Amino acid sequence: MPPLIRPATPADLPLILTLIRDLAAYEKLLPEVTATEAGLGATLFGPRPAAECVLAFAADGTPAGFAVFFTNYSTFLAQPGLWLEDLFVRPEHRGRGIGRALLLHLAQLANARGCGRMEWAVLDWNQPAIDFYEALGARRLRDWQICRLSGEALARHA
């Protein structure tokens, strides 16, 4: 039986925050998580949502994973794109097609929304994820580097 994937609702905020923390722990970044249910509620379900979230459930109904994504834009294509911010499947549910189902759900959504591409970042040490993405046909753009302005550096320019 394929996993159930559905859009998250405000009632799912505790689960979403737990999954974010689970992802951060896996990536060894848990101390960097400052998100709260209130903050997630405002940015996912407020008057101007910044992102969307879908949840995946195993055949027995247990929460198995999630994906958070948002629309970006390509001037070269003159089309929207879909940026996958987070994709995570709990370790006990891996190897059952849940990650694949989440990624394919988003690819179908991107196609339905007229997106010209779907992109995401992957940590260079996360070989299982790299192998998974490449097996689905994703290609890594090795000549592009992510730049980030945040925290104090961002505030200096306010």
Q: Tell me which residues are annotated as active site.
A: 133
DSSP assignments along 60-124, one per residue: TS-EEEEEEEEEEEETTTTEEEEEEEEEEE-GGGTTSSHHHHHHHHHHHHHHHTT-SEEEE---T
**For residues 49 and 36, is the Cβ–Cβ distance under 8 A?**
no
- CB burial class (10 A; 0-12, 13-18, 19+) of residue 106? buried
